[in-house]
Amino acid sequence: MPHYLAYGLTLSTSVEIPGLIPLSEAESRPVDVTITMGCLPPGFPLKSQKAWYASQVKPNQSAPNLRAWQVGNGKYFWLQYREGAEFAIERQGERIWACWQPSLTLEDAATYLLGPVLGFTLRLRGVTCLHASAVAISGQAVLFVGRAGAGKSTTAAAFAKLGYPILSDDVAALHAQNRQRDGFADRTVRAFEVQPAYPRLRLWPKSVEALYGHSEYLPRLVPSHPTWDKRYLDLQQEDYRFQADPLPLGRIYLLAKRSRDPAAPWIEKISMQAGMMALVANTYTNYLLDRATRALEFRALSQLILSISVRQIHPHLNLTFLPQLVREVLSDLET
Residues linked to residue 142 through DSSP beta bridges, in sequence order: 135, 251
Neighbours of 169 (CB within 10 A): 26
Report how far residue 65's alpha carbon sits from residue 56's, in angstroms, rounded to the nearest whole number. 8
Contacts of 185 (CB under 8 A, 6+ apart): none
Q: Helices 272-281 and 291-307 meet at what angle, rounded to 10?
A: 140
What DSSP letter does each residue of 71-126 carry, written as one string? ETTTTEEEEEETTSEEEEEETTSSEEEEEE-TTS-HHHHHHHIIIIIHHHHHHHTT
Neighbours of 320 (CB within 10 A): 8
Report how far residue 257's alpha carbon sits from residue 326's, in angstroms, rounded to the nearest whole number. 17
Query: What is the per-residue pLDDT for 25?
Result: 74
Query: What is the per-residue pLDDT for 179?
Result: 58
Query: What is the per-residue pLDDT for 181?
Result: 54
pLDDT along the chain (335 residues), means of 10: 93 94 81 95 75 85 88 90 94 96 92 95 95 97 93 96 96 81 53 95 96 94 83 95 96 94 93 95 93 91 92 95 96 92
Greatest Cα pair distance in the chain: 60
> Would you state the torsion angle of the CA atoms of residues 109, 113, 117, 121, taken in this order, to the nearest 10 degrees?
140
List Cα–Cα distances, 250 to 92, 191, 261, in angstroms.
Answer: 30, 10, 28
Domains of the chain in sequence order: 1-125 (no CATH), 127-335 (3.90.228)
Bridging pattern class, strands 247-255 and 140-145: parallel
Residues linked to residue 130 through DSSP beta bridges, in sequence order: 172, 283
Residues linked to residue 181 through DSSP beta bridges, in sequence order: 184
Report how far residue 255's alpha carbon sits from residue 130's, in angstroms, rounded to the nearest whole number. 13
Query: What is the per-residue pLDDT for 318?
Result: 93
- Residue 213 phi, psi dihedral angles, 5° rounding: 90, -10
